[in-house]
Structure 1
């Protein structure tokens, strides 16, 4: 059932966050889950809020990363999309009569306790710190899926090693398709996600062309 395996991912989509996002998506796919992101479709005519609401309603699990909500420099504005979407998702969970089962959340911040200093309504809600470390993201997502989704997953070190193997396979494949190395590393998230699924389905080959 899609609801039971879909995971709504609410996070930044900028270049600096990309290593964390990719590690998160890989861990989800590796564990047999189906990540759902607002960027998975590029149709400009689609209402973004309606799309996000539909993704959140259709997923039992959600990962919300609030680590980029602060302004990066003096004069910049705070980034409010992530806490806004978390609030909407919490509302969906509270009005859960129409959902097949209760939604489960994993919430990230950069450093411990920083989010609750500015978002006191999260009191009572566990928030995990990742310190901008992709290995920590894999570890926290892995533990969340093991406990909350009952996924039969290996240890975080094994998943991290598989992630490194996938990255090499992915780059080899994209170079063989005619991409420059720099361009291959900046392909759309939806394309990278599709390749993760293919790599797992192929039996996690060590290199491109080898099964």
Structure 2
């Protein structure tokens, strides 16, 4: 699959790709999904270890996510990170068309809601993530991500990358595609599917 062109043509192509990928994601059989999610969690943990480097995971602030619309369920990853001493956060939309903020998260079921009605920690304890684990509707092996079209992660990454934040995209292998980046897209440092772990160096050679 691919998307090329510019302006309305690219927007339309992305919308069609997004709907196709969401449909395919929803049709993954339950057993295959569980196996894929376990593999994605392992690959993402390896990516986080690589990004942490010599300092290790102790105290590393990682932005997690709560899955919606068939995104990979990575509870095993969040638990493993907490056990390794990492600190977790969840993204919070405080207003539409603005960068997100992050509230520290202990891994328990959150009871608050953000501006989009998504579950977030009720306590507004804000942190700045050093690494963001970001779900992908689609991904390109060159490091580009296709999301839902709202631009929340792009706006947020634009602000955080200047502070040294890193990013790990996660998605099912069926979401791989040839994606022409838009002007606002921010390239990811790692991308993890159940089949592979794409690091920054190999992605930037694509």
Q: Specify the TM-score bucket, using the shorter chain as the normaliser.
A: 0.3 to 0.5
Rg: which structure is higher? 1
Question: Which structure's residues are more often strand, by fraction?
Answer: 2
